[in-house]
Every structure is written in structure tokens, then in C-alpha cells.
Amino acid sequence: MAGACNLPRRCYRMLAPVPVKQSRAYSQPIRPDKQFYSFANLINGRLRHCAPFQQAINPSTKEALWDVPIATESDLNAATAAATEVFRTWSRTPWARRQDGLKKAKSILDSAKQDFAALLSWEGGKPIQFAALEVEQALAILDFHATHEPLEDRLIQDDDELRLTLRYAPMGTVAAICPWNFPLALAMSKVCAALLTGNCVIVKPSPFTPYSVLKFAELVKDLFPPGVLQTLNGDEKLGPLMCSHPDIQKISFTGSIATGKRIVASTASTLKRVTLELGGNSASIVCPDVDPAVVAPQIAMGAFFNSGQLCVASKRIYVHNDIYDEFLEAMVGTVRSWVVGETSDLQPGTMLGPVQNENQYNVVRGFFKDAEDNGYKFALGSPIDADASARSKSFLIRPAIIDNPPDESMIVRGEPFGPIVPVLRWDDEEEIIKRANDTNTGLGGAVWSADVDRAHAIAERIEAGTVWINGYERPLAQAYCAGQKESGLGGELGTEGLRGFCNAQTVHYYKTPVAGRRT
């Protein structure tokens, strides 16, 4: 989703900084032992620290973090060989035993959640309370899968002549290619589904945020047979090698539309199964019967959460003319009240941190420049803020709200994936549905109305895989998440997401006696 997963219930009404529940203040390092800050690939149950190395960058300081090895083609071959071998037994391991591994993994992560929150803050630029929320998301995903009932055979027909059933069998080796915006939670959605359904999984974290995923795999490696769960940090060569490798049966990818299209092309030679969760340009439609003072802060959270680096976030906010001015004032006031700043000190209270990496930082600044060049009105922020950030020691960009830009503008048509959002006017319901659907993406959307029937009627016409009614974007572990149009293929999470990691097999059992004649 190039996006977030299950948020804890206590965060559903999160409109202000959320303190992290802790007995002591965060400080670097959280753990006194240096071993926790040593990172390795995991191949066939063994950690590999070998060179070459790279370092990810702390977005709050632009300084290099810890060494992490770069996997080679021979590492990939070793990992796939190990997975192929152990799959013979792992695929036949009872469901309950697979769940037992996930339950124990949850316990290990839960016992180290402060340490993981710190890692996520340093590698991702998240304010510490939201890094802690990502750990909670990962725990919720582990819990959902660790308590899920086995996938039962579907009985299609059963009469005197024929019993027809549909069963679900594991595929083999899954390559999970993960994004940088929610590195731990989104990796967990792939790992849990793959392992629970009897597959082996090789996880490739984003080279921008490799640390939390590699450390999780290291800590839980002894819970699973060697080769069942493996991790390979790699450069730009590793992903294409995975996509074309003959011993990988499925690719699960979360990331950009452009990369997703390249993955589809590269998997064609082996006809791998592919799940793609790609970009979005989700619209929020705000009807005139809502209270702007109540709704605007929630939409602000949905639009700017994680500094806008959330695939399902509201990226176009359409507000009815009758309440437009009041709504815009309330939204601007909400965002202006937030603390924006660097996050390396791990102090709770900051709402928006830096953009995660330099590439995305430059993309976002491009949207600021385009708005300035075209004379669009900044209701909040300005191009000056973006220019000043370019001279800072971080990738911080202060949030901006663009007041009613044209529909054909870059900020409306594109996906900045950063802290800049357009708010637009509408009058006619038919027209606004058409405007909301006028995009090549279809990942998410939201409708806000006091008239529940009206809200549902509008939501049913939104061309998107997930729609929220009277709530900002909060994907749940139990809710299937899939994109329409160019936002993806297939989906993940929920029971339906588990089926996406299985091969379907239809069994025809004819009840006509076939026993031979007795002699």
C-alpha cells in the first residue's frame, strides 16, 4: 500500500501528537550492546556480513548510518537453492505449527519494540511516536496471521455424481520487494502471508531503509527452518535478478507504478505470479453537510501522515463550495499548529519529519516549484520554504496547502508523495465523481457526509480498491487492499490476501465406482 497497515484502535482519533508510552526517554543508542547495530543478510539460517557494503542515510542529518552488506547474484542463488530444498517440508508443515512461529516472532518484536521504533525513526525520518506506531502496525499484522483460521477448501458441488472442490496450495519461493515509507509494517504483510500459507520468502528491503527488516529477520531466524525466511539487502541489480530467477515463483512488490511495470515485463519470461501495490492519487470528497471543524483536522491527518509518504493518503481534497472557505481555514490552522522538524533526537511531539530520501525530496520540491511558476495560491507554506530546506542539513520540507489549483495542474494530476496537498472546490455531485475518477490510478478514496446513504452512493462510484467513509485512510490487517487501474495487480492483507500467495487447484471427484472385478 505503498502505504500504512493496521493502526491501533487508540490512534483512530489521532489529531494531535501522540506520546509514546515508555518508562524512559529515548536516547541513542537504545541498547548498550553494539551487536544490535550490526546488520547482515540472512541466507539459509546464517548471517552474512561480507563485503561489499553500503550505508543508508539518516534523513534528519544526511549522515550515513550503519554498514549493510550488498547481496550478490551468488547470494541470491544460494538463497533460492535453500528455499527450494526446505519448501518440500515447510509446505507440508501443519498450519498450527506455522502460526506458532509467527506467534513467537510477535513476542520477540514486542519485547524489542522501543529499539525498533528508534531504528525506524533513524532510517525513515519518522517522528518517534509514529515510528512506534509502525511497530504496532507490524505487531497487529503478525497477530492477525498468527490467529487466522486455516484456508478451507471451497465446496462448489456435492451430489450423487460429483464432489467439486477448490483447494489452496503454497506456490514455492516468494520474493518480497519492499518499500521505504513503511519498511517494517509492509514487509510484515508479505512475510506473514507467505509463511502462513506454506511458502518460503526472500525479503529484499529498500536500500534506503534496510535496518529494521534485517534486524527482525536476524532475531526470529531460529523460529523457522533454515531457508524458510531469508533477507537480502541489495542494490539496483538485485530486484531484476529476482524477477527473472527461475526458482522464484512469485513477486510481491510495493512501490512506484514505473517500477511495477518493469517488474511485469521482467517476469514475463518465467510467467511468475505477481502482486503489485503501486502508487495512487486518492481523492477525498467532502459534502456540504459536515462540520469543517470536525472533519478538516482528520483529513489533514490523512493527507499529511508520514509527511505525505503514504500511497493511500488523500492527495486531492475536493470540498463543496458551501463550506470551502471555512474548511480551508480549519485545515490550514490544524497543520500550522503541528511541530515540524528533524527527528534524530527521538523526542515525542514532532508531527512531521523529513522526506525519507534525496530522490523523493527533489521530486517534492519540483511540485513546489511548479506551483510557484504557475502562480498558484499557497494557503499554507510557500516555495521559499522548499528552497530554504535545500540549504538545510536534512531532507525536511515544511507542509504546504494549495488553494483551488486547476484540475490539469501538476499538483492535481501527479503524486508528490510528500507534504504538499491541493484543496479544490466543487458544486455538482455528478461532476465531482467524474473529476475524482479522472486519473490513471485507483488505490484509495474517501467520502465525508452526514448523510450515510449519500456517502455510500458516492463511495460505490469511486474507481478505487479501497474507500473510506467518514474516516481518514487507515488500512487494516483484516481488510483486503488492492488497487485498480495502474495502482496495481492483485492485493494483500485480509483472508483474500492469503489466497494471493496460493495456487488454486480444482479437484473433481466422480463418485462412480471404479474398483476392479474380484477374482
Tell me how far apart the alpha carbons of residues 200 and 248 are, in angstroms, rounded to a whole number.
Answer: 10
Same-domain check for residues 354 and 418 = yes
Checking if the pLDDT of 362 tops 60, the result is yes
Q: Structural domain tally of the chain?
A: 2
User: 11 lies in a domain?
Assistant: no
Task: Give the pLDDT confidence of 313-337 residue by residue, as tens digits.
Answer: 999 999 999 999 999 999 999 999 9
Per-residue pLDDT, averaged over 64-75, amounts to 97
Q: Which residue has the cell 515485463?
A: 265
HEC-encoded secondary structure of 68-116: EECCCHHHHHHHHHHHHHHHHHHCCCCHHHHHHHHHHHHHHHHHCHHHH
Report the phi/psi class of residue 62: left, alpha or beta, with left for phi > 0 and alpha for psi in -120 to 50.
Answer: left
Same-domain check for residues 322 and 243 = no
Residues annotated catalytic, as ranges: 277
Checking if the pLDDT of 155 tops 80, the result is yes
Same-domain check for residues 293 and 420 = yes
Task: Give the pLDDT confidence of 492-517 residue by residue, as tens digits.
Answer: 999 999 999 999 999 999 999 887 76
Full-model pTM: 0.93
Grid cell, residue 512, equals 462412480
pLDDT for 517: 66
Tell me how far apart the alpha carbons of residues 493 and 479 are, in angstroms, rounded to a whole number.
Answer: 6
Same-domain check for residues 344 and 439 = yes
Same-domain check for residues 188 and 289 = no
Q: Which residue has the cell 550478490?
A: 72
The region of weakest confidence among 31-35, 252-256, 400-404 is 31-35
Same-domain check for residues 325 and 438 = yes
Tell me how far apart the alpha carbons of residues 21 and 133 are, in angstroms, rounded to a whole number.
Answer: 11
**Domain housing 439:** 283-469
Per-residue pLDDT, averaged over 52-73, amounts to 97
Same-domain check for residues 357 and 423 = yes
Checking if the pLDDT of 469 tops 50, the result is yes
Same-domain check for residues 448 and 493 = no
User: 240 lies in a domain?
Assistant: yes
pLDDT for 28: 47
User: 91 lies in a domain?
Assistant: yes
Task: Give the pLDDT confidence of 367-399 residue by residue, as tens digits.
Answer: 999 999 999 999 999 987 777 766 778 999 999
Give me the percent of the chain exceeding a pLDDT of 90.
88
**What CATH number is given to the structural domain containing 461?**
3.40.309.10
CB atoms within 10 A of CB 50: 12
pLDDT for 53: 96
The region of weakest confidence among 20-34, 58-72, 91-105, 184-198 is 20-34
User: 481 lies in a domain?
Assistant: no
Task: Give the pLDDT confidence of 255-265 residue by residue, as tens digits.
Answer: 999 999 999 99
Same-domain check for residues 256 and 357 = no
Task: Give the pLDDT confidence of 198-215 residue by residue, as tens digits.
Answer: 999 999 999 999 999 999
Confidence of residue 518 (pLDDT cuts 50, 70, 90): low
CB 6 within 8 A of CB 477: yes
CB 252 within 8 A of CB 175: yes
pLDDT for 516: 72
User: 134 lies in a domain?
Assistant: yes
Same-domain check for residues 123 and 238 = yes
Cα 174 vs. chain centroid, distance in angstroms? 17
Same-domain check for residues 377 and 399 = yes
**What CATH number is given to the structural domain containing 141?**
3.40.605.10
pLDDT for 30: 63
User: 58 lies in a domain?
Assistant: yes
Same-domain check for residues 304 and 275 = no
Q: Which of residues 312 and 7 earns the better pLDDT score?
A: 312
User: 32 lies in a domain?
Assistant: no
User: 26 lies in a domain?
Assistant: no
Burial of 54 by CB count in 10 Å (0-12 exposed, 13-18 middle, 19+ buried)?
middle
Tell me how far apart the alpha carbons of residues 365 and 344 are, in angstroms, rounded to a whole number.
Answer: 22
